[in-house]
A and B are shown apart, each in its own frame.
Chain A
Amino acid sequence: MTGSAVSLAGVGKDYKHFTLDDVSLELPQGSIMGFIGANGAGKSTTIRILMGLIHQDRGTVRVLDNEMPAGQVAAKREIGYVSDDMRLYPGASIAWHMSFIASIFPSWDAAYAAELVKRFDLTPEPRIKGLSHGQRVKAALLLVLARRPRLLVLDEPTTGLDPIARQEVLGALIEVLADERRTVLFSSQNTMDVEQISDRITFIDRGRIVASDDKENYLDRWRRVRFEIPEGATVSAIPGMLDLRGSGRINVVTVPDFTDATLPLLQATGASVIAVEPMSLEEIFLCTVKNRREGVLA
């Protein structure tokens, strides 16, 4: 059976200075979702709600067939959760933590754990307090990965890692998906990480979901169009197109919902199209946040 590993519908939470509003998303089993947003956009709040760590004021949350927060004890047996504010015992070693987790979770895979120690370039003996930030992050990930949980929930797993460590971590996450019953949800400020390994993208800004879609579909809808206008002509804003830039005859416009009708619309203004270019997730992210803050995009 392949259903949703995570399903949020109309979820809201009110704080004095922040509101999480009408958050709905579906994460199909066997896929990776990258959850992106600026600092303070609501990523961690959403993740804590779906973990049952804080309780929503409105809406329903289902995680691995458990209603949350009521079913959190059953759900957590099968979830591996890592966030920045989780601490390992500073006075104990990675090896001690590994045998501690192994004693609690029967699903612990010692061979896989040993392989991850090597791949993450860790040494099990030193105490946690002597480790670098990157080594601690990798150690925390190893401790959940080796349990082989059905759902991995990672709050900014690659933040503060150097490029080599980032690729080690991303590689390990992709490998989880070789087993199609397992699912990963990770938040990140790094759009390159999300673009590389996600099947689905959820994009949150100021407490609201801006987009939640298949990654390739989402990227495919955005295009940058370069076009040329006749000598002496001027272009004014075209409905549905953003960030018109240019001086003189060459202009550039960003199209958030590119279709077969887009180019004829431009050509009807007398423009001739020079190039239609795909955009990176980073560019889409920046364009969306900027236009939302200026009130141009809903």
Chain B
Amino acid sequence: MYLQIIEQIRERVAVGDWARDAEIPSIRQLAVALRVSVITIKRAYFELEREGVIVTHHGKPSRVAEVPNLEKLRGEDLDQHLDRALHIGALLGLSPDELAERLERAAKRRNDEEQA
């Protein structure tokens, strides 16, 4: 469950709902607001601090990091999805080139949808 919270917070930081270096809610405040347990938020904050997305100081409010390290995380996330795509591609007997073609077609489709 804390993984879902981590993802939500990363998104808030990525889109700027939680601005860089801004104060963020206390663990208990966020637990009440999201209706999840204190331990879940505590664990999420702990992991986010390790990733460098937020900074916590004992006895002071936690803040978003001045340079939240989201690009690296997104990169790792993307690599995992690509590995998964390669695995499924292999099951379907697709070569990496054929997969790349599929990716281009998907990008075109998305582009068309956005135009429409």
Contact = CB atoms under 8 A, between A and B. Distances in A.
A199 B35 contact: no
B37 A215 contact: yes
A174 B31 contact: yes
A216 B43 CA distance: 8
Contacts of A197: 35-37
Nearest to A171: B35
Give the interface size class of chain B: 10 to 19
Given A170-B35, A216-B1, 6 more contacts: A30-B38, A32-B38, A196-B35, A197-B37, A199-B38, A274-B87
Contacts, number: 48
Contact of B28 (A171, A178, A274): A178
B3 interface: yes
B48 to A, nearest CB: 14
Interface string B5-39: 00000000000000000000000110110011111
Interface of B: 1-3, 28-29, 31-32, 35-40, 43, 87
A184 to B, nearest CB: 10
Contact of A177 (B3, B28, B43, B87): B28
A31 interface: yes
Contacts of A274: 87
Interface in A193-207: 195-200
B32 A199 contact: no
A270 B35 CA distance: 44
B87 A216 contact: no
B5 to A, nearest CB: 10
Contacts of A199: 37-39
A177 B32 contact: yes
A175 B37 CA distance: 10
Contact of A196 (B28, B37, B43): B37
